[in-house]
Amino acid sequence: MTNPIFKGVGTAIVTPMTKMGVDYESFGRLLNWQIESGVNAIIAAGTTGEGSTLSDQEHKELLDFTVRTVDGRVPVIAGTGSNDTSYAIELSKFACSAGVDGLLVVTPYYNKATQGGLIQSYTAIADAVDKPIILYNVPSRTGCNIQPATAAKLAEHPNIVGLKAASGDISQIADTAALVQGKMDIYSGNDDQIVPIMSLGGIGVISVLSNVFPKETVAICDKFFAGDIAGSRDLQLHFLPMIHALFSEVNPIPAKAAAAAMGFGENYLRLPLTPMEPANEEKLLKLMRAEGLKV
């Protein structure tokens, strides 16, 4: 069995921005609120954090700020994936030197890769660092899918310890869980599949929902781990409308709108992402108000 980087909820945290750059004042408050709300890890500069449009300098500054602000209270996991393996290695090495606790490495996008190419690419990254790696499989965004046999092969590397499963394919995730045999921790990468994936042996979620409802997302996991499967399921189902609203436009557009409505910076995204359509935003805010948030 692995030694998990974290168990429970890792927030794939948004990055508050302005036209001038990262809004570190708002980001610091958001980090502290997340930790005070009980989340188990912070994932910085991932998809939700708009890592793909951060400059190289901004990416490194953001990771350094996150590590210093979190100050060991929970693990910090850095998004360091790229479609260029050499750059992923460079960024991963920096993240390790900055003091992160783990790396979240997405499959190569656009140029894609064969399954053999995935094995070689991930092995090269894992060989180059001294921190544990979580593979990130999200084929709807990357056009590249980590097959179960590939995950099982990669699980043999001592630095590859986890999988963020965001394929949406429960059958594939079940096959992966059967093949890795506890050598790799599996996290739900979709907020609407937290309970189903934990029922297959998953140990938590890398969550967008927890940007807005951290305590409640933690409760979904905690209830499940405590044996209250019905309570966990009921919370999962209760928050489905909110989850659908948070993905009514491409992530992180709705999450950024929600964070801004709660006072964590501006509703500003970098092109090609644009602010949420007004009708969709109003539906999101209405659901947030129904849960007691003053937005």
Domain spans of the chain? 8-226
Global pTM reads 0.97
| 187 is a catalytic site residue | no
For residues 154 and 184, give the distance between their C-alpha atoms in angstroms, rounded to a whole number: 9
Q: What is the pLDDT along the chain (295 residues), one digit of tens a residue?
A: 568 999 999 999 999 999 999 999 999 999 999 999 999 999 999 999 999 999 999 999 999 999 999 999 999 999 999 999 999 999 999 999 999 999 999 999 999 999 999 999 999 999 999 999 999 999 999 999 999 999 999 999 999 999 999 999 999 999 999 999 889 999 999 999 999 999 999 999 999 999 999 999 999 999 999 999 999 999 999 999 999 999 999 999 999 999 999 999 999 999 999 999 999 999 999 999 999 999 9
pLDDT value at position 1?
A: 53
For residues 51 and 58, give the distance between their C-alpha atoms in angstroms, rounded to a whole number: 9
Superfamily of domain 8-226: Aldolase class I (3.20.20.70)
| 223 is a catalytic site residue | no
pLDDT value at position 149?
A: 98
Residues 6+ apart with CB under 8 A from 292: none
Three-state DSSP string of the chain: CCCCCCCEEEEECCCCEECCEECHHHHHHHHHHHHHCCCCEEEECCCCCCHHHCCHHHHHHHHHHHHHHHCCCCCEEEECCCCCHHHHHHHHHHHHHHCCCEEEEECCCCCCCCHHHHHHHHHHHHHHCCCCEEEEECHHHHCCCCCHHHHHHHCCCCCEEEEEECCCCHHHHHHHHHHHCCCCEEEECCHHHHHHHHHCCCCEEEECHHHCCHHHHHHHHHHHHCCCHHHHHHHHHHCHHHHHHHCCCCCCHHHHHHHHHCCCCCCCCCCCCCCCCHHHHHHHHHHHHHCCCCC
pLDDT value at position 3?
A: 83
The catalytic position among 131, 164, 223, 256 is 164
Burial of 177 (0-12, 13-18, 19+ CB in 10 A): buried
The catalytic position among 60, 122, 131, 136 is 136
